[in-house]
């Protein structure tokens, strides 16, 4: 029986790395991509099922080249898991246009570049899954999130749009909405993160959602995400008041 294959971007650390290890331990071929070749080698050296393919997702042509390399190596790709992202809380408190552009370049356009690279392959194959890692920060606007939140909100809308476009070809588009997961990115946060979970917890939820279930959105931990989903339906006045009090974000 041929082993199934998953391509993971943002695979050198955090959720991407944990998902790579989880799928590899379950017997999958795993192609991991990130900018730092040394970290990819470190991971692949420890697991024979994982192979690194260095990539800067902001480079459109390189996205195409790397996907061609992965196809040549593994022949058949079953799942793409696009999780490249960045976040700099020190630059989110004010409108820093250059910083916001950079965040969108990686979080949104980097993901879009990868999706474009695999579009024809999956539509011709008429099978497979494309998963987009967003965040609970994309549900509604939050204080001190001028770049990260809007970039994730854009990914949410993109995933919903692509769901219709790919569903006609029997290709499943899946949105991943993690809560607070302990990663190098969240380590930059200077506030208490409720219901903080490990990358391994996230990987278990993602594996189960992608392999064993057929849902559009995989969100976790439910103790946090369900509360925020309720918040998303609240009238603006109530939402702004509640979030303002919870984050102690008051008028100056």
DSSP per-residue string spanning 64-120: HHHHHHHHHHHS---EEEE------GGGSSS--HHHHHHHHHHHTHHHHHHHHHHHH
Buried b (16+ CB within 10 A) or exposed e, 211-250: beeeeeebbbbeebbeebbebeeeeeeeeeeebeeeeeee
Give the separation between CA 216 and CA 227, rounded to whole angstroms: 19
Residues 6+ apart with CB under 8 A from 91: 99, 147
Characterize 46-77 residue by residue with b for buried, 16 or more Cβ atoms within 10 angstroms of its Cβ, and e for exposed: eeebbbbbbbebeeeebbeebbeebbeebeeb
In whole angstroms, give the CA distance from residue 130 to residue 113: 13
Cα dihedral sign, 15-5-218-88: positive
Distance of CA 78 to CAs 8, 127, 137, 228, Å? 11, 8, 28, 31
The residues facing 132 across adjacent strands are: 82, 175
Is 148 catalytic? The answer is yes
User: Catalytic pick from 102, 121, 139, 148?
Assistant: 148
Catalytic residues: 148
């Amino acid at each position: 029986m041929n082993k199934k294959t998953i391509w993971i971007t943002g695979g050198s650390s955090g959720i991407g790395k944990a998902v790579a290890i989880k799928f590899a331990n379950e017997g999958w071929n795993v192609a991991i991509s990130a900018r730092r070749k040394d970290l990819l080698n470190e991971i692949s050296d420890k697991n024979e099922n994982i192979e690194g393919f260095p990539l800067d997702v902001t480079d459109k042509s390189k996205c195409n080249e790397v996907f061609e390399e992965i196809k040549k190596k593994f022949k058949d790709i079953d799942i793409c898991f696009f999780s490249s992202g960045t976040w700099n809380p020190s630059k989110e408190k004010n409108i820093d246009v250059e910083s916001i552009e950079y965040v969108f370049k990686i979080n949104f356009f980097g993901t879009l570049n990868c999706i474009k690279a695999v579009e024809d392959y999956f539509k011709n194959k008429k099978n497979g899954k494309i998963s987009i890692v967003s965040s609970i920060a994309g549900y509604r606007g939050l204080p001190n999130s001028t770049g990260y939140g809007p970039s994730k909100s854009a990914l949410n809308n993109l995933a919903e749009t692509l769901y219709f476009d790919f569903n006609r070809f029997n290709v499943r588009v899946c949105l991943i909405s993690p809560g607070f997961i302990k990663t190098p990115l969240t380590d930059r946060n200077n506030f208490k993160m409720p219901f903080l979970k490990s990358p391994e917890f996230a990987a278990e939820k993602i594996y189960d959602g992608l392999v064993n279930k057929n849902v559009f959105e995989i969100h976790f931990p439910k103790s946090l995400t369900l509360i925020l989903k309720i918040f998303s339906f609240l009238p603006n006045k109530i939402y702004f008041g509640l979030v303002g009090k919870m984050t102690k974000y008051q008028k100056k």
